[in-house]
Structure 1
Amino acid sequence: MESVELQGLNHDHYGVIFDKYDHNHDGLINYQEFASIINSAEFRSDIPKHLIKEIFRRADTDGNNQLDRAEFVRIATHPETSHFFTHLRQRGRQYVKFLVPKPPTTRTLPTAITTVDGAYEEEYSCWPPRVAMITLSLVIIVLFMVDIIIADNMHAQGPVATDLLYDPHRRKEAWRYLTYMFVHVGKMHLIVNIFVQLMLGVPLEMVHGGWRVVLVYIAGVVAGSLGTSICDPTVKLAGASGGVYSLMTAHLATIIMNWSEMMYPLIQLIIFLILIGSDVGTAIYNRYVLMQFEPIGYAAHFFGALAGLLVGITILRNISIDRGEKWVQIIAGAIFVLLMAAAIIFNIVNPNYFPVAYV
């Protein structure tokens, strides 16, 4: 963009705007921050993404993919774009006025009011196709069908199921800590798990990508079996519930880490807390009030959920990260690694704690 002589324009005004949106106060605004400012919920219908990219490209004169204060003021006051920023400022004032029509005092509005939401929702994408959880679900269904065809039963007694389910008597066959997720006891067990993991997993994929979601899922499965081996050492495990619960709490993790970038984080948080609370409450009521000892691996559910929260915080995308959130990610990752290491060591050094292996 050519430099031009500017007269009669308030550079200080746009410098103040820059400082307001430079949230980490490093003197720079990157493209993600720039897009979140002008592509927020109230402006989304007016500003196409290609225009945002073009404005940013023209403003970034040194090509470092970040705007410093001078570049921001220059693009804001350039004749070709100044009308755009004037419109943006007017719309912003209208939005704040609508949001807070009668401020209680004459003091400056809190910084929180200027926080732009909706950036997380902008990250949803169906292209390239999100197929990781769909593929995993198809593999589970195929293995279930193989056992039905070969063994003519639906009770995890086919050759595939017996070789893959978690059996405490065969703990040395380490693959069972993971492969029990491919085994299901009956059609309803299969249908419920597949339905829930698709409903939870695919939306996560649309923002975070397949490999991150699969890692969270596998972490929940392995944590579920390791936790069960310690808390319920005689229990066999079949089903993907550990992974399903990890996906559920992964949604909690991404809400926590992207709270200011979401449009309705509190509503989403309440919904997932109700889902988790109702399941946990039902389990406690059935076991300790009704005294119903159902063959359900509650320990796998709990430790799968814990893994989903910790691993989700660690590896799922954080749309706009600050130093405090970085430390939260490091701590969550360290806690997960320490818990997994402790469970593995416990399994190795305490063989007498577990059932005797089959002869």
Structure 2
Amino acid sequence: MENHRTSLLKVKPTIHWQLIFDKYDVDSDGRISLPELKNMLKSESYAKDIPNHTVRQIMRKADRDANGYLDFPEFLKMIEQEEEGGVMKNALNRYVKATVVPRKRFTADEFDGSGDYEDEYTCNPPAVLMILISFLVVIAFLWDVIEEGETSVKGPAASLFIFNPYKRYEAWRYLTYMFVHVGVFHLVVNLFVQILLGVPLEMVHGWWRVLLVYLAGVVAGSLGTSISDPGVYLAGASGGVYAIIAAHLATICLNWAEMEFALLQLIVFLALTVVDVGTAVYTRYVKGEHNQIGYAAHLGGALAGLLVGINVLRNLQVRPWEKKLWWASIVIYTTLMLAAIIWNVAVPSYFPPSH
């Protein structure tokens, strides 16, 4: 009895999809040409037979024998694969839609030219960039803890990677300080924010765009610190984390009319930034506790994330004023970065002596 019931459960969906397939197979020859399928899917009379994300998968992958036609076995195979996407993919899609996905889907004709916008995350390729960076950060942290027996800037990873103002000639330190964290709380907060915010950005905009934003924030953080606080050591991924936060702000501002909860997200991100930077400034300059928190790295990373994010992140609808903003952000970012680099190279007397 149980086996019979299981068989019925399998047969009924197949019959359902056979009926859908027959509806599209207008000449009843058992196959549908892909151009015909594409035209029919755009027709209102065929709307909502197949979920949008499944339609895109069918058009992209279903013609497995490359003969230009879609037959029922190919159609059914694609449907089954999509239904097997599982709870995890659905949860990821809901999370992304709540953060960086707009209210409506844009077609290739409406989009800005950087590719068709996906309102469903397909897990291909997987969003692992921020997770990989976080893993490397944890490895560096554990290396120091194992060697020193405690969190310390004297560990092997910290000694090699930290931004040391007395070793500015070791140029890699302007970037690698992102792997050094002093204290578990410092580490956990940075990892939490960069995964929570970086992963949805990567899922929508692609790993290489997010990587550019993140690294731009890290380098801007160290350059900004070297000029505003020339004697300060710098550790942590806050420059990159703040770049990710600011990149969200850039996405919200550029796609304000299309975004879900745009105002709420803007308020939350601005509040986080103001509270964190304000606390660091108050602690150092008002209370007089010289803990040398690198707030300049936070501000530098945020500024870089905003300027670079405007340039590299996907813009759902390009308006005339946004093109001017795009050029302005390029000029401002390039000017600031060149000025900081030239200052570091050309004015050695401003900085602590190298040793």
Q: Same fold (TM over 0.5)?
A: yes
Give the aligned partner of residue 295 of structure 1: 292
CA positional deviation for 1:276: 1.5
CA contact (8 A) 2:53 2:120 kept: no
Structure 1 residue 49 and structure 2 residue 46: aligned? no
| Shift in alpha-carbon separation, 1:328–1:294, aligned structure 2, 3 A | same
Amino acid at match of 2:304: A
| Shift in alpha-carbon separation, 1:149–1:281, aligned structure 2, 3 A | closer
Structure 1 residue 153 and structure 2 residue 150: aligned? yes
- Structure 1 counterpart of 2:119, from 122, 126, 129: 122
Q: Separation in 2 of the partners of 1:279 and 1:299? A: 12
Give structure 1 stretches of 5+ with no counterpart: 1-30, 39-43, 57-115
Q: Separation in 2 of the partners of 1:288 and 1:221? A: 24
CA contact (8 A) 1:220 1:305 kept: yes
Amino acid at match of 2:52: K
Structure 1 residue 249 and structure 2 residue 246: aligned? yes
CA contact (8 A) 2:144 2:152 kept: no
| Shift in alpha-carbon separation, 1:343–1:213, aligned structure 2, 3 A | same
CA contact (8 A) 2:164 2:173 kept: yes
Give the aligned partner of residue 234 of structure 2: 237
Q: Separation in 2 of the partners of 1:149 and 1:51? A: 49
Q: Separation in 2 of the partners of 1:52 and 1:142? A: 42
Over the aligned positions, Cα root-mean-square deviation in angstroms equals 2.9
Give the aligned partner of residue 139 of structure 1: 136
CA contact (8 A) 1:125 1:207 kept: no
| Shift in alpha-carbon separation, 1:262–1:188, aligned structure 2, 3 A | same
CA contact (8 A) 1:227 1:299 kept: yes
Q: Separation in 1 of the partners of 2:188 and 2:276? A: 18
Deviations 1:229-264 (A, max 9, x none): 100000000111111111111100010111122122
Matches within 5 A, 1:39-118: 48-49=51-52, 117-118=103-104
Give the aligned partner of residue 204 of structure 1: 201
Give the aligned partner of residue 277 of structure 2: 280
| Shift in alpha-carbon separation, 1:125–1:259, aligned structure 2, 3 A | farther
- Structure 2 counterpart of 1:180, from 177, 182, 192: 177
CA positional deviation for 1:326: 2.2
Matches within 5 A, 1:318-333: 318-333=315-330
Structure 1 residue 258 and structure 2 residue 255: aligned? yes
The count of aligned residue pairs is: 261
| Shift in alpha-carbon separation, 1:290–1:124, aligned structure 2, 3 A | farther
Q: Separation in 1 of the partners of 2:334 and 2:238? A: 21
Give the aligned partner of residue 218 of structure 1: 215
CA positional deviation for 1:340: 0.3
Give the aligned partner of residue 304 of structure 1: 301
Report the TM-score, using the length of structure 2 for normalisation: 0.67
Give the aligned partner of residue 271 of structure 1: 268
| Shift in alpha-carbon separation, 1:228–1:129, aligned structure 2, 3 A | same
Give the aligned partner of residue 59 of structure 1: none
Structure 1 residue 341 and structure 2 residue 341: aligned? no
- The percentage of counterpart residues that share the same residue type is 55
CA positional deviation for 1:302: 0.7
Amino acid at match of 2:316: I
Deviations 1:89-148 (A, max 9, x none): xxxxxxxxxxxxxxxxxxxxxxxxxxx943488265543210000001101111111222
| Shift in alpha-carbon separation, 1:355–1:262, aligned structure 2, 3 A | same
Structure 1 residue 166 and structure 2 residue 163: aligned? yes
Amino acid at match of 1:136: I
Give 3-state SS (helix, strand or coil) of 1:172's partner: coil
Q: Separation in 1 of the partners of 2:289 and 2:122? A: 44
